[in-house]
């Protein structure tokens, strides 16, 4: 079933002159080690409605900045690695924001799951998921959910979008009994406030209490500025030039806050 009042819009399914479904891909990584369990075939699709201040891939924001691929071509490429991926990792679709091209991404997941028997993971902030029926997620084994702040005002200042759809998505994944990894980018002065972290830790702890074992981990991702030059190349002002990466002490403090609530944190 679809949820009421969906937020944002999903790109309509697209087909070429021969009837082949296609979408837009920013890049492909065949040996990704940080995008889910094991070694992953990582597919980074283009298009994103968020404008996160620390985004390290602003070149993924525009849909047509990506290269056009058919579903058949992508599945064939993943198929070259399927025997290895079955035992060593799987497929992760990231972005950009994958759910912006939900029809394209969903068809890849369906075929990879049923034809190649490969583990699947979706890296998303969940903002557009209210457009999609529950059955859409049947072919997804793991959700990597980015929750970028827990204070709604700070969240919108950071991303340009409201927080509530992301929280509703997290609750929906719990209802659907989907395993999740929560990803939290730690930015000094933006997402390091102890009360904000405590609020998110309490929230996740309550979700975990409702469905033990579904939140497999919370990943703390220290802020970096490796994407700053991309902003400059695109003629955009990078607002975090003077922001430094978090200290190890800060990282450990935030990890301890989540761990104290019974969440596995790394």
Average pLDDT over residues 245-257: 98
187 domain-assigned: yes
Q: What are 79's two structure tokens? A: 């198929």
31 within 8 A of 39, measured Cβ to Cβ: yes
Work out the pLDDT band at 69, boundaries 50, 70, 90.
very high
Among the ranges given (53-62, 172-181, 190-199), the one the predictor scored with the smallest mean pLDDT:
53-62
Residue with structure tokens 């697209």?
A: 14
pLDDT, averaged across the chain: 94
The CA–CA distances, whole Å, from 50 to 10, 64, 124, 210 equal: 13, 16, 11, 30
pLDDT of residue 8: 63
Work out the pLDDT band at 226, boundaries 50, 70, 90.
confident
For residue 75, what are the domain limits?
22-259
79 domain-assigned: yes
pLDDT of residue 4: 36
Distance CA 173, CA 153 (A): 24
Give the number of other Cβ atoms within 10 Å of residue 170's Cβ.
22
122 domain-assigned: yes
164 pLDDT more than 70: yes
**Positive or negative: CA dihedral 78, 14, 123, 237:** positive
Average pLDDT over residues 204-223: 97
16 domain-assigned: no
What digits encode the pLDDT tens for the residues 232-246? 899 999 999 999 999
Residue 210's region, left for phi above 0, alpha for psi from -120 to 50, else beta, is alpha
99 within 8 A of 13, measured Cβ to Cβ: no
Distance CA 58, CA 228 (A): 9
Distance CA 77, CA 124 (A): 23
Average pLDDT over residues 18-37: 94
Distance CA 86, CA 82 (A): 6
Q: Is 254 exposed, middle or buried (0-12, 13-18, 19+ CB in 10 A)?
A: buried
71 domain-assigned: yes
235 domain-assigned: yes
266 domain-assigned: no
Q: Looking at the 3D structure of the chain, how many domains does it have?
A: 1
5 pLDDT more than 70: no
The helix or strand, by DSSP H or E, that contains position 255, with its residue range, turns out to be helix 248-259
Residues 6+ apart with CB under 8 A from 223: 54, 185, 186, 187, 188, 190, 240, 243, 245, 246
Q: Which of 260, 221, 254 is nearest to 55 (CA)?
A: 221
7 domain-assigned: no
Q: What is the CATH number of the domain that holds 238?
A: 3.20.20.70
208 pLDDT more than 70: yes
pLDDT of residue 206: 97
């Amino acid at each position: 079933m679809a949820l009421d009042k969906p937020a944002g819009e999903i790109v309509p399914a697209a087909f070429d002159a021969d009837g082949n479904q296609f979408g837009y891909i920013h890049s492909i990584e065949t040996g990704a080690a940080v995008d889910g369990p094991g070694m992953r075939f990582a597919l980074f699709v283009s298009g994103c409605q968020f404008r996160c201040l620390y985004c390290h891939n602003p070149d993924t924001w525009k849909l047509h900045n990506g290269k056009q691929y058919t579903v058949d071509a992508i599945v064939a490429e993943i198929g070259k690695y399927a025997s290895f991926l079955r035992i060593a990792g799987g497929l992760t679709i990231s972005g950009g924001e994958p759910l912006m091209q939900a029809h394209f991404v969903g068809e890849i997941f369906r075929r990879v799951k049923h034809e190649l028997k490969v583990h699947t993971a979706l890296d998303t902030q969940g903002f557009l998921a209210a457009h999609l029926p529950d059955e859409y997620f049947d072919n997804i084994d793991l959700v990597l959910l980015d929750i970028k702040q827990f204070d709604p005002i700070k969240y919108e200042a950071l991303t340009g979008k409201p927080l509530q759809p992301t929280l509703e998505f997290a609750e929906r994944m719990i209802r659907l009994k989907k395993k999740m990894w929560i990803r939290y980018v730690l930015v000094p002065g933006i997402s390091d406030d102890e009360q904000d972290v405590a609020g998110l830790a309490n929230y996740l702890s309550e979700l975990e209490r409702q469905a033990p074992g579904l939140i497999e981990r919370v990943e703390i991702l220290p802020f970096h500025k490796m994407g700053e030059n991309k902003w400059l190349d695109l003629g955009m002002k990078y607002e975090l030039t003077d922001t430094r990466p978090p200290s190890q002490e800060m990282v450990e403090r935030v990890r301890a806050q989540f761990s104290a609530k019974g969440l596995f944190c790394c």
